[in-house]
Structure 1
Amino acid sequence: MFNSLKKSLYDFITPSKDEEIIKANDKLKDIVPTLWLFGKTGAGKSSLVKYITKQDDVEVGNGFMPCTKVSSIFPFPSDKPIVSFLDTRGLCEASYDPTEDIEHLSIDSNVILLVMRLDDPSQKDVLSSLKKVKKSKSKKILTNHLIVIHTFCSQLSEEDRNRMITLQNSEVEKVWGSNFKSTYVDFDSLENIDALNQLLVDELPLVSEALFFADDERDNFAYSRLKKDIIWYSLAAGAADAIPVAGAFTVPTIQGKMLYDLAAKLDLEWNKKEFLEFTGSLGTTIAIQFGASFLIRQATKFIPVYGQTAGAAISASVGFAATFALGKAACLYMCYKKKGVAVNSDELQRVFKEAFDSKKDVKTS
């Protein structure tokens, strides 16, 4: 055990095994959320993707890679994806079979975004395809993961808007049941955009953390720049940490590589001296807690039955939270170094603890 911990420390300082990170990345397909875009052409799917990604040049169809006979997928960001968008062509065709598309979805990490124009009363074909998905026997469809987004609300009076929302929601309920969330928005006027924001935060916390919000701590400017990278590495650690044995070796490598990458993007040197100062500033209490939780979550994965279910879930969520907290604290530490000011250990420990606590119960898979 001592040799394993010694190796983990070495991997932190000299992360050279990119193949382990590649293996963890391969497992991310079961963790990274897949947002399945459901809706007719012109419903506002491209506008929704642009809003979520903050990329004005994104168009549904352009930049999407074919993945099934009738569908294409758009991972974002392309190099270290934290979310994927699945768009289905021919959705309104009578012969459409959702089986292959469903199999391409990530396990337990998918959301259907049903986009419906309020000024288009003809939604029969889309609802027919949604019904086929609902009837699917695949375990990859979670019936509580449907979000209905009513678009082009500014085209209607308030009375007509409310009437059409009620009508369309009742039609969806006939097909899907009542277990779905809905809101309305206009991407041109940004009417009701705050409600859409809140719905996405509630249903997609990891995506929202990485894409929507600037950090509320002004001193931690690095986190605002690098939060997408931190989320990606955290997801990779969560994916690796759910696997018995492998997590003990892969997670430290992923975390070490994250620290190197963060420093490189901030044009800072990352070496043994910096690493020891950073971990020393975090304090022995956090280091001990971090090490103990790592050993516990690795041990639970070897307990029959429990280790295959609850232990793996605990391991993935804690692996994600620990990596996220480490990344956020590292950003603050690197801010201190960039500014040439003394490291505030108390503030560093506060950032780590709050970041860990905020993510330790997040479901990553």
Structure 2
Amino acid sequence: MTILGKWTWQGLGDALFSPKADGVEVKINAVRQSLPIPVFWLLGKTQAGKSSLIRALTGSDKAAIGNGFQACTPRSQFYDFPSASHPLLRFLDTRGLGETAYNPEEDLAWCANQAHLLIVVLRALDMNQAEVVATVQAIHKQHPDWPIIVVQTTLHEAYQGDAGHLQPYPYLQSPFPPQVPHALAQVLLYQRSWFNGLPAHFVAVDFTLPEDGFEPADYGGEALWDTIETVLPKGVLGLLRGTEHHKALLDFHAQQAHPHLIGYALLNVGMGAVPLAGLPLVLAVQAKLFHSIASIYGLELTRRLYAEFTSLIGVSVGLGLLGRELLKLVPVYGSAVAGVYSGAMTYALGKAFCVYLYGVERGALPTAETIKATYNEAFSQARHFLKQKDS
């Protein structure tokens, strides 16, 4: 290991095991509070499938209506994902539409300038949706700039016999292809006609449990993500989806850690772009990430574990931390580039650390080549999405 690389890894080690609170925490919190958090406002009747939709988008089994939500008005609740302290996505749930008289004025007043996306959830075979449609129209009148996605759920209730999901997914096509059963097509199109004149995008999904016997269990999930990214072009959302290669490497704990990695990566985008912030803030955030990941795995972050990990991942990452500082010397674009670089490195370090801890758990450490390949692919993926976000 070169002197420069050793010095940088030593800096991260100091932040891990000898943290200094000389204003660092205050600066980190200030940057965290300045980061935008996409707010998805969910509208729909009880049992329309809102909790299933949240689980599909977040991958969190804890995402259930009434479990994890915090009341913000008498009729509305927030669900922060992955946690209230480190939210990456925020869901605003309005309950009871259609079942009881609902006046959206209170929510509209409270939610002004907070939501970024309105998601309307309709059970495909439920034709009694007048209250929902009226609420959407009222919201759009006051907030015409909010995108609207109408999600039609529980498609399998309209299937005949042993029919399963249609492949390839046909419901984004207009008109529907002939393989879509006529009765189901009529229902979906009739519901969509309720939103004529509104800037609505439509997605049909069927999110079921494995024991229900429908494959895949998250049918329409990719189409929903594609639509969200179309109307809400925040590139970082793509990181939530991951890649097939990463999914193969992720165990249960790594899946729980994944949104935390993105949250800390975004935090270091802000830290890395702060002129004269230097390495201390970036290293402090990465230290917090390492501690968070270790706790998810139920392991104590010791100097031995850290030394073993750094020896596997190699000196190039340590030098990359210093390279981020050199980028700041580039006029005009230097700080912005440094921010994306810092965020991508933080995300990639977290991915590599998950693979390492998975090996520690099993008693079979991954090879240095596996750790480096994980880091390199994650860095490339994160830099692509974070650059989209920053552009």
**Which piece of structure 1 moves more, 80-89 or 261-270?**
261-270
1:258 counterpart (273, 286, 289):
289
**Which piece of structure 1 moves more, 323-332 or 225-234?**
225-234
Counterpart in 1 of 2:268?
A: 237
Q: So what's the TM-score if we normalise by structure 1?
A: 0.74
SS in 2 for 1:361: helix
2:319 counterpart (269, 285, 288):
288
Matched, 1:83 2:116: no
Counterpart in 2 of 1:43?
A: 48
Q: Cα–Cα, structure 1 residues 174 and 361, in superposed 2: closer, same or farther, change >3 Å?
A: same
Counterpart mapping for 1:1-365 below 5 A: 10-17=14-21, 20=24, 24=28, 27=32, 30-52=35-57, 59-61=64-66, 63-68=68-73, 70-78=75-83, 80-89=86-95, 93=102, 96=105, 98-105=108-115, 110-136=116-142, 143=147, 146-156=148-158, 158-176=181-199, 180-185=201-206, 187=208, 189=212, 190=214, 193-202=217-226, 203=228, 204-209=237-242, 215-217=247-249, 223-224=254-255, 226-246=257-277, 248-266=279-297, 268=299, 270-272=301-303, 274-296=305-327, 298=328, 303=332, 312=336, 314-338=337-361, 344-363=367-386
d(CA) in 2 for partners of 1:231, 1:328: 10
RMSD: 4.1
Q: Look up the equivalent residue of 1:121 and give its one-letter code.
A: M
Q: Cα–Cα, structure 1 residues 242 and 130, in superposed 2: closer, same or farther, change >3 Å?
A: farther
Q: Look up the equivalent residue of 2:382 and give its one-letter code.
A: K
SS in 2 for 1:172: coil
Deviation at 1:278, TM superposition (A): 3.0
- How many residue pairs get aligned? The number is 343
Counterpart in 1 of 2:168?
A: none
Q: Look up the equivalent residue of 1:184 and give its one-letter code.
A: V
d(CA) in 1 for partners of 2:305, 2:63: 40
CA offsets per residue over residues 337-363 of structure 1, 9 Å max, x none?
455556622222111100111111224
Q: Cα–Cα, structure 1 residues 344 and 214, in superposed 2: closer, same or farther, change >3 Å?
A: closer
SS in 2 for 1:103: coil
d(CA) in 2 for partners of 1:8, 1:56: 33
Check the 8 A contact 2:49/2:123 in 1, yes or no: yes
**Which piece of structure 1 moves more, 91-100 or 65-74?**
91-100
SS in 1 for 2:152: strand
Q: Cα–Cα, structure 1 residues 349 and 28, in superposed 2: closer, same or farther, change >3 Å?
A: farther
SS in 2 for 1:119: coil
Deviation at 1:198, TM superposition (A): 1.4
SS in 2 for 1:362: helix
Q: Cα–Cα, structure 1 residues 238 and 45, in superposed 2: closer, same or farther, change >3 Å?
A: same
Deviation at 1:172, TM superposition (A): 3.0
CA offsets per residue over residues 235-259 of structure 1, 9 Å max, x none?
3333444444447432210101222
Check the 8 A contact 2:78/2:91 in 1, yes or no: yes
Q: Cα–Cα, structure 1 residues 217 and 60, in superposed 2: closer, same or farther, change >3 Å?
A: closer
Deviation at 1:101, TM superposition (A): 1.1
Q: Look up the equivalent residue of 2:88 and give its one-letter code.
A: I
Q: So what's the TM-score if we normalise by structure 2?
A: 0.70
d(CA) in 2 for partners of 1:320, 1:165: 42
CA offsets per residue over residues 160-181 of structure 1, 9 Å max, x none?
221122233343352115xx35
SS in 1 for 2:83: coil
CA offsets per residue over residues 8-31 of structure 1, 9 Å max, x none?
663255345497457645625734
Q: Look up the equivalent residue of 1:14 and give its one-letter code.
A: S
The answer for unaligned runs of 5 or more in structure 1 is none
Check the 8 A contact 2:152/2:203 in 1, yes or no: yes
Check the 8 A contact 1:149/1:183 in 2, yes or no: yes
